[in-house]
Amino acid sequence: MTRYEDLTPYEYSKLRPPWRAAVNIGWLEPDAPYAVGPVEDGVVDMLVRLSHTHIANVTRGIYRCRFCGAFKLSLNVPEISGASTLLGHAEIHFKGHDGTVYAAPSLIAHYVAEHDYSPPRQFIEAAWEVDRSTPRVRHSRGVPVNG
């Protein structure tokens, strides 16, 4: 993975058209400093849900966490009984109420839970809004179906 500062222009995938500009969130590497600190209760669960409902740029391989070496991370999706989401093989993309599009690696939930990463407040607030407005669905081969 590549390191990008939070809230800088997204450029990891060239597949995104320029008129859909996004900003980076959570593109971390061990040799570079990042914001640390506590996050409010429920943030990790919310990020896992977004990893399930707002998935983008799925890859064929799985990215290993470069901080701890964890591989094939899978976390349960809250409120979706029996469902889990694989982390490290895709990105989360969503648009905030102000029109900002955020792009984060799916490992962001792991970074927050295990490595004390504290995403920017505006990202957390936008993520909560998107999470609250997203129906709880299961995905089968990328196609949403009622859960």
The verdict on residue 24 lying in a domain is no
Q: What is the extent of the structural domain holding 90?
A: 35-135
In a domain, 141, yes or no: no
- pLDDT 10s digits, 49-72: 898 889 998 888 888 889 988 776
* Local confidence band at 144 (pLDDT 50, 70, 90 cut-offs): very low
Would you place residue 77 in the very low, low, confident or very high pLDDT band (cuts 50, 70, 90)? Answer: low
Average pLDDT for the chain: 83
Would residue 8 count as lying in a domain? no
How many structural domains are present in the chain? 1
Q: Flag whether 6 is in a domain.
A: no
Which pLDDT score is estimated for 60? Answer: 85
Count of CB atoms within 10 A of residue 34's CB?
Answer: 18
50-76 burial, b if ≥16 CB within 10 A, otherwise e?
A: bbbbbbbbeeeeebebeeeeeeebebe
Q: Could you tell me if residue 101 is inside a domain?
A: yes
Q: Specify the pLDDT at position 134.
A: 82
Q: What is the DSSP letter of 138?
A: E
Amino acid at 4: Y
Give every CB contact of residue 28 below 8 A, 6+ residues apart in sequence.
3, 34, 67, 111, 115, 117
Q: What is the pLDDT at residue 59?
A: 87
In a domain, 144, yes or no: no
pLDDT higher than 70, residue 24:
yes
> Is 14 part of any domain?
no
Residue 122 lies in a domain: yes
Say if residue 119's pLDDT is above 90: yes
Q: How far apart are CA 102 and CA 62, in angstroms?
A: 21
pLDDT of 84-113, one tens digit each? 778 888 999 999 999 999 999 999 999 999
For residue 123, the Cα-to-chain-centroid distance in whole angstroms is 11
